[in-house]
Amino acid sequence: MNIVLFHPRGFDAARAGKRVFNLATVLPPLGLASIAAALRKAGHTVTLLDANLHATVPNDQWAQRIAGLAPAVVGFTATTSGFLDAYDVCRLVKGLSSNITTVFGGVHASWGGARLLEQFEAIDFIIAGEGEQAFVELVEGTSHSRIEGLHYRNGTACASGPPRTTLCAMDDLPFPAYDLLKGFPGKYVLPLFSYPRHPATSIISSRGCIYRCSYCDRSVFRKGFRWNSPEYTMELVRWLSADYGIRHVAFYDDLFTLNRARVARLCGLLRNARLGMTFNCIVRIGHIDLDLIRELKSAGCWMVNVGIESGDQAMLDSHKEGLRLEDIRRDIELLHAENLWVKGLFMMGFPGETEESVKKTMTFACSLPLKDANVTAFTPFPGAPVCKGIASKGDFEDDWSKMDCVNFVFVPREIGSRAALEKYYGEFLRTFYHRPFCRKAYRRMLFESPHSYWRLLKHAGAFLGYARRIGSDQG
């Protein structure tokens, strides 16, 4: 069967040239690449189209290209911010060829399920949860009522198969179909200053998270944790190095260090392979210690991302399960002492957030040996626990297209205005990066991450424009 998988842009093409975030980071759509690999293994012909590589191409041209490939089935992934954009392409495809079957999956589709079918008539099927097995079963004719996680049309009504309980055996999955990503690896870039050498790419070697933070939508993998074996992961890294010349990988696992034995074994394999590869990973406070940090470092770990979110303990107690400020400081100082580049992940605008709590976060962030920070706008995604009753806790703009962790779609009533949040956002970044500690670190990065500086120069106008907007928010 001829199948097209489409990764939407997730924002208006007219604004594409002004979105500095898409210049700073373009990651491969690994979820679709994994489904593509599973479909190809089952004998199907698959084309994977990624609109993020061609951000200014309008949706009608994408629809024409998809229809021109004459697929029997088109699959769309859908984050919350990208859902309406994906649906626009879906609607246009149906207008060009009504006999094409359309399938939606991803986090937003997994949350919405049958209710999205009822509202968006151009969607034929929705797959909730893991997509590899369900998609293969769907295109190979398994009875709809027997496919776990499938939502479908039954005449004029919408129906659902049983919830997905049969999960993929992680090591049985083929490697993601990176080869179907046109322009891989050169056109895909990790966040600025998050890698020493290019080409670099991302890997996901585990699924799920055992924690239940208020702002996380766990509609796809639920509350569980599974992982690829160290041997499988090592072979994936070896393949990326040999076939694509990848020199650095970023593990985007939510809980990379949760299974200590797995990480230690993988580190040993990486050391022994002598590929000259470096890597990044995300670590959770409380799941690292000095011995493990040294294991990571000896295996080529270059940078770690640490989810901090807030410097106010009351905010953490309400929104981040099991995290204490003193533990954050302890672990970050350990990481820094072992000469790892440490990036803190923060969030601003939680329900209950006050100007005082924002200032506490800024002060706390600047007191830590962090060389980089990612500050996102708190976003109440529809499937997240915090979304229930969110409108009673502040001003909520329920616009899916703006739920990209960049726009402040929610303003807590304790702060009262979006302008105030944007002002503090700008102040946070200015204060953080103007520290002598950061300035010294980024002078070193001229030699440690030269490709990032090349990208900065290439897109200097866009980055300077963004910096000026942040500066004007400060004033």
Q: What is the pLDDT of residues 149-192, one digit of tens each?
A: 999 999 889 999 999 888 889 999 999 999 999 999 999 999 99
Query: What strands lie across the sheet with 372-377, from one edge to the other?
Result: 200-203, 248-251, 278-283, 301-309, 341-348, 372-377
pLDDT exceeds cutoff 60 at 20: no
Q: Are residues 282 and 382 in the same domain?
A: yes
- Segment 96-104 mean pLDDT: 97
In a domain, 176, yes or no: no
How far is CA 444 from its chain centroid? 28
Residue 173 lies in a domain: no
pLDDT surpassing 60 at residue 78: yes
Residues 45 and 95 in one domain: yes
H or E, element range at 458:
helix 450-458
Residue 474's pLDDT is 44
Is residue 174 a part of any domain in this protein?
A: no
Confidence of residue 13 (pLDDT cuts 50, 70, 90): low
Strands 410-412, 394-396: pairing is antiparallel
Asked if residue 47 has pLDDT above 70, the reply is yes
Share of the chain above pLDDT 90, in %: 81
What's the pLDDT band for 23 if we cut at 50, 70, 90? low
* Under 8 Å between Cβ of 119 and 158: no
Domain of residue 199, CATH code? 3.80.30.20
% of the chain at pLDDT higher than 70: 94
- Reported as a single tens digit per residue, the pLDDT across 420-466 is 999 999 999 999 999 999 999 888 888 889 998 888 887 777 666 65
Mean pLDDT, rounded, of the chain: 92
Q: Report yes or no on 48 lying in a domain.
A: yes
Averaged pLDDT, 275-292: 94
Predicted pLDDT at 209: 87
Q: Convert the pLDDT of each residue in 333-362 to its tens digit.
A: 999 999 999 999 999 999 999 999 999 999
Token output for 383: 């499937």
- DSSP element (H, E) containing 396: strand 394-396
* Structural domain boundaries enclosing 58: 2-160
Domain boundary among 127, 144, 160: 160
What six digits make up the tokens of 55? 């951000």
Q: Residue type at 41?
A: K
3-state helix, strand, coil in the chain (%, to 5): 45, 15, 35
The rounded distance, in Å, linking the Cα atoms of 137 and 129 is 14
